[in-house]
Every structure is written in structure tokens, then in C-alpha cells.
């Protein structure tokens, strides 16, 4: 399928030299509740798809279609940063740790990839890799709006979003009153209303709720399990 040439420059350059590109992205950094999920993805040479876009501009059905396509046309892994890890390290450091781990896991899962990688592209977040996983031929670049500038980052964005949505739908089974299956932990009006009524659950991120808590009556600041 045809792809916008502006977001395939890295990939086509690498593929022409019989090399590969790895993209890394996350989903859920700004949520009130639930994990942050990161993904690392390497498209198979020549593999493009019209749905390789920022996951946020795709519908759920489009993301699921793109994910199904990626299962055949890419190698990928994902990692989960729990609310506890987010609170321990802060969201940026927890995200970085999981990004590095996702990359390492992918390289270990598909050992032939690292020698073929020309460049690692990350959406916005700068990473340092252990020397074992950063050979001299591997370049690393990080830039904003990465999902729009690289289909490899877009692929990782889709994997991270699909897997996080599945995790949040599972959490909904344990905490149905919060509506996690609808807002996926983001601070929507529905979510804030539930928090005002019932307080935080054990899967909420206290550091993300400080301003919200300060605006609530003291008796509503409850912790439920």
C-alpha cells in the first residue's frame, strides 16, 4: 500500500542499503491510572501500510487492523511500567527504563536484527543503551511528533496503544465503577466524576492526582482496594 513519502524517508534509506530501522514509542504517559506501555518495532524490509500513523488519529478498529498487519509484517515487543514503578521513578524515568528494556527484549527475541539495524528512532525521549546493544554502526535519534515522521515509530505507537487498551479493559473487570474500558485511565469528565465519588483505587497514580485531590473535600480522598 502507498505511504506518504515524508514519513518513510528513514525506512526507505535503510532498506535500500539492506538495513533496518527500529522505532520506539509509548502509550499512557499522561493518564491518571494504569500503566505506561512502550513498544519497540522493526518493520520487515519494504513493508508499508496506509494505517501506519500516530495511533491517536486512528479509530479503535483501524488500530486493531494495523496491529493484525504488524503481526505478519514486523517484529515487535512491548513493556509495561506499572503505577508503582511510575510513582517510584517518575513517569519519564519509568518510560525510559521500559523503552530500553523493550528494545533489549526485541534484540534478544530476534537475534539477527541488531547487526542489521541502521538507526533507532524514538518519539521525543532520548535514550542511552547498554554498550552490548549499541554497536558502533547503530545511530540513535529522538524527535517530537515521531509517529508522523517515521512509520517505524508509528508502528510502535500502534502496538503500545493496542496493548495498553487491552490492559485497561482487563482492569475494568476489577474496577468497573471507574469506566477504564471507556477512557483508558485518562482524566476525562467521567473519570473525574468517579474519582470525586469514590476516591482513588490502587491502580491510580497518586502523583498525577495531586491537583485533583487538592480540589476535593477531605472526606472524599479515600483509598480503595
Please give the average per-residue pLDDT across 196-221, as a whole number.
81
pLDDT tens string 151-186: 999 999 999 999 999 999 999 999 999 999 999 999
Residue 41 phi, psi (nearest 5) = -140, 140
pLDDT tens string 76-110: 999 999 999 999 999 999 999 999 999 999 999 99
Q: How far apart are CA 179 and CA 182, in angstroms?
A: 5
pLDDT tens string 118-128: 999 999 999 99
| In the block, residue with C-alpha cell 542489521 | 116
Long-range pairs for 218-221: beta carbons < 8 A, 24 or more residues apart: 220/196
Residue 2: its pLDDT value, please? 47
Residue from 214, 207, 168 nearest 191 by CA: 168
Q: How far apart are CA 165 and CA 186, in angstroms?
A: 11
Residue 214: its pLDDT value, please? 73
Residue from 67, 89, 65, 220 nearest 157 by CA: 67
From its phi and psi, is residue 7 left (phi > 0), alpha (psi between -120 and 50) or beta?
A: alpha
Residue 64: its pLDDT value, please? 98
Q: How far apart are CA 192 and CA 183, in angstroms?
A: 11
Strand partners, 153: none
Q: What is the pTM of this model?
A: 0.93
Q: Helices 151-174 and 9-16 meet at what angle, rounded to 10?
A: 120
> pLDDT over 70 for what percent of the chain?
93
Classified by CATH at the fold level, domain 5-171 comes out as Nucleotidyltransferase; domain 5 (3.30.420)
> To the nearest 5 percent, what fractions of the chain are helix, strand and coil?
50, 20, 30
Half-sphere exposure of 12 (CA within 13 A, CB side): 10
For the cut 70, the answer to whether the pLDDT of residue 11 exceeds it is: yes
Please give the average per-residue pLDDT across 19-30, as a whole number.
98
Domain residue spans of the chain? 5-171
* Cα 66 versus chain centre, distance: 15
The DSSP letter of residue 126 is -
Amino acid at each position: 500500500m502507498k505511504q506518504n513519502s515524508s514519513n518513510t524517508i528513514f525506512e526507505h534509506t535503510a532498506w535500500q542499503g539492506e538495513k533496518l530501522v527500529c522505532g520506539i514509542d509509548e502509550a499512557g504517559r499522561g493518564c491518571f491510572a494504569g500503566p505506561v506501555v512502550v513498544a519497540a518495532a522493526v518493520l520487515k524490509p519494504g513493508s508499508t501500510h496506509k494505517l501506519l500513523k500516530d495511533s491517536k488519529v486512528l479509530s479503535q478498529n483501524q488500530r486493531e487492523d494495523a496491529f493484525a498487519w504488524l503481526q505478519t509484517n514486523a517484529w515487535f515487543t512491548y513493556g509495561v511500567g506499572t503505577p508503582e514503578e511510575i510513582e517510584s521513578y517518575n513517569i519519564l524515568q519509568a518510560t525510559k527504563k521500559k523503552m530500553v528494556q523493550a528494545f533489549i527484549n526485541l534484540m534478544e527475541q530476534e537475534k539477527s536484527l541488531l547487526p542489521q539495524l541502521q538507526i533507532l528512532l524514538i518519539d521525543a525521549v532520548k535514550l542511552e543503551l547498554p554498550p552490548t546493544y549499541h554497536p558502533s554502526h547503530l545511530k540513535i535519534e529522538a524527535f517530537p511528533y515521531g509517529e508522523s515522521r517515521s512509520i517505524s515509530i508509528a508502528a510502535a505507537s500502534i502496538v503500545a496503544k493496542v496493548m495498553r487498551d487491552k490492559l485497561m479493559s482487563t482492569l475494568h473487570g476489577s474496577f468497573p465503577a471507574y469506566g477504564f474500558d471507556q477512557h483508558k485511565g485518562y482524566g476525562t469528565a467521567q473519570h473525574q466524576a468517579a474519582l470525586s465519588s469514590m476516591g482513588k483505587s490502587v491502580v491510580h497514580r497518586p502523583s498525577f492526582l495531586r491537583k485533583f485531590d487538592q480540589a476535593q473535600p477531605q472526606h472524599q480522598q479515600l483509598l480503595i482496594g
